[in-house]
Amino acid sequence: MTAAEPLVSCENVVHIYRAHGLEVIALQGLDLWVDAGEMVAVVGRSGSGKTTLLNVLAALDTPSAGRVAVAGQDLGRLTAGERQRYRREVVGCLWQSPALNLAPDLTVEQNVRLPMTGSGLGGRREADRAREVLDALGLGHRARWLPDMLSAGEQQRAGLAVALANRPALLLADEPTGHLGRDAAGRLMADLADMRRRLGTTVLVVTHDRLVERHVDRVVGIRDGRTSTETRRPPEDGEPAEELVIVDQAGRLQLPRAHVAAVGLAGRARVRVEAGRIVIEPPS
């Protein structure tokens, strides 16, 4: 990967899986690029393809078609051993449920050290790194506690420590504030943003939480298995954010439903170029 290339590159990605004997097309030609160091939120209704995208980027699922590359690695071409190494060295995952982030019979510090097993760091360096990330997240005094002794917010921050243990290039977070109260959710997002700055980690968050959107650089909407809209955080506080419609490589775009309803578009539309603009209107 060169300095000019995005850390995450998804080009015309299709993913099909079987459920109850039927084929489900979860991603339908999705395009997405995320630059190194960016913090991006992915939003969309249930069934839009958000979780499938996360699983593909985590190398838990293989795309059916298209190309997905992270940190210069083509995820569709990795061998089984390369996929394991990718999940250990390149990507970290923070799941919504603490049960998926933390082993209940290990202390918090032991949980953080677990992903480092086989890394070659050695016991002392593993312990130092675990303590460093726990201290940064305000959990140093909880290092010897078991997960069920922590509050919900502390459990999720401990899960974040586990996800960051190997200093991944990409952190994937699936609804990380979904079960937290407002204060705990705000603390988690502030910690996530701080750790992003400390480590230079690229962060992709799947969320329904509007609070999360305030902490990210971009919000990308997914609809029907494709990226549909993008909203960038304004450079100055108080400025309104502008939502843009994404035009994919095939020239397709998804118009906001409210706009379609407002002008009565249905079935077909007339498209023309006028004074350097593309005009879309109902047929006469």
pLDDT in tens, 221-259: 999 889 998 888 766 666 666 777 777 777 778 777 777
CA dihedral 234, 241, 28, 59 (to 10 degrees): 40
Which residue's structure tokens are 């097309």? 25
What is residue 118's three-state secondary structure?
Answer: coil
CB-side exposure of 96: number of CA atoms within 13 Å?
13
Dump pLDDT digits (tens) for 3-45.
568 999 999 999 998 888 888 889 889 999 999 999 999 998 8
Q: In this predicted structure, what is the pLDDT of residue 77?
A: 93
Query: pLDDT digits over 144-177, tens only?
Result: 999 999 999 999 999 999 999 999 999 999 999 8
Asked if residue 217 lies in contact with residue 39, where contact means CB atoms within 8 angstroms, the answer is yes
- The model carries a pTM of 0.87
- What percentage of residues in the chain have a pLDDT greater than 70? 94
> Mind listing the domains of the chain with CATH numbers?
8-253 (3.40.50.300), 254-284 (no CATH)
Number of CB atoms found within 10 A of residue 113's CB: 21
Q: Say what the pLDDT of residue 239 is.
A: 64
Question: Per residue, what are the HEC states of 41-67?
Answer: EEECCCCCCHHHHHHHHCCCCCCCEEE
Contact 171, 163 (CB under 8 A): yes
How many Å apart are CA 10 and CA 266, to the nearest integer?
30
Q: Would you call 230 helix, strand, or coil by DSSP?
A: strand
pLDDT of residue 34: 96
Q: What is the pLDDT of residue 144?
A: 95
Which one has a higher pLDDT value, 202 or 2? 202
